[in-house]
Amino acid sequence: SKGVLDGGHQVAVYWYGKSKVASLFGSGPITGANAEQTLGWIQRGGGDQLYQELLQKLNLNIKGFFAFPMPTQPLGWFKKTPPKNAQELVGYKYRTVGLAADLMQSMGMKVTQLPGGEIVPAMERGVIDAFEFNNPTSDRRFGAQDVAKNYVMGSFHQAMEFFEIIFNKTKYDSLSAENKAILKYAAEAASSSNTWMAQDYYSKDLQELITKDKVKVTRTPKSIMDAQLKAWADLTAKLNAEDPFFKKCADSQLAWAKRVAYYGFLNDADYKAAYEYVFKTKLPV
């Protein structure tokens, strides 16, 4: 924003300290839509216009593009036996970021927001005893498997996130129309490329964690996910009451999700049943 850098790459959730509305453009309250569908809200459902309004409200001299709808982020890594229900979450010293921190704290966890490079040392020192970061590849590369052997997949805390590619707006405005278009379409191309790369890397690294690193991988119990949904509903109601602009953005996102996700659920084939039939296996529940 100040022009020290011309551009950057992050998730909007990292600047939710300026406004919790920022989480709606990164990983906010659950709507029933997935990350790909929520990115559609940015591109076609009015989300980008609301994002521009947020930047103006915060006086941020930024031009941003959104890319790469991420797979659901796992509940994370646990030193000891993972919780079997929502009651067992209470008291865990847990690392997450953004609005997810508010969510998990409301469920009784003792939340610490740490940058990625500080997570493993914090686990080693006992500052935290559980954490989430992002995905099997990123987690494995910084050594999560060296400080914990229980990895719990699936969660509603960050289930529809995407990246934000930002540029100093003064610099961006000085570009020709052609170069502005190049940046826009480059972000869209990067979004597709990252999606395909994630499919390859995340699936490979998950298998490596299981077979090579001897990590016990399980799925988050349904009772915990149900409790997360209720906690999100309570938190969203609170934020809607506190900030009319949060409500304006959240309502827009909900309207998009109600229509778009409905189509998906009604039309999508049962891919899980197909997988189990083709590979003669039963997936974890």
- Does 33 score more than 90 pLDDT? yes
pLDDT of residue 203: 98
DSSP label at residue 58: T
Could you give the percent of the chain with pLDDT greater than 70? 100
Q: What is the mean pLDDT of residues 72-83?
A: 97
Q: What is the mean pLDDT of residues 37-46?
A: 97
Single pTM value for the model: 0.94
Banded pLDDT at 67 (limits 50, 70, 90): very high
Q: What is the mean pLDDT of residues 252-263?
A: 98
Instruction: Kindly give the pairing relationship between strand 130-131 and strand 76-78.
Output: antiparallel
Alpha carbon separation from 22 to 85, 111, 179 (Å, rounded): 30, 19, 27
Distance CA 162, CA 191 (A): 9
pLDDT of residue 198: 98
**Hey, what are 198's tokens?**
């994630």
- Does 27 score more than 90 pLDDT? no
Question: Hey, how many other C-beta atoms are within 10 angstroms of the C-beta on 123?
Answer: 23
DSSP label at residue 90: T
- Does 173 score more than 90 pLDDT? yes
pLDDT of residue 75: 98
Could you give the percent of the chain with pLDDT greater than 90? 93
CA-nearest of 73, 34, 221 to 157 is 73
Cβ neighbours of residue 275 under 8 Å, at least 6 residues apart? 281, 283
Side chain identity at 87, as an amino acid letter?
A: Q
pLDDT of residue 14: 80
pLDDT of residue 266: 98
pLDDT of residue 1: 83
Angle at 13 between CA 28 and CA 16, to 5 degrees: 95
Secondary structure E strands in 155-266: 162-168, 216-219
* H/E run at residue 177: helix 177-211
CA-nearest of 227, 222, 165 to 194 is 165
Banded pLDDT at 152 (limits 50, 70, 90): very high
pLDDT of residue 101: 94
Query: Alpha-carbon torsion 56, 59, 63, 65, what sign?
Result: negative
Distance CA 51, CA 4 (A): 22
Domains of the chain, CATH where assigned = 7-70+157-215+230-279 (3.40.190.170), 76-153 (3.40.190.10)
pLDDT of residue 284: 85
Sheet with 162-168: list strands edge to edge. 7-10, 162-168, 62-69
Alpha carbon separation from 47 to 4, 51, 79, 83 (Å, rounded): 27, 6, 39, 36
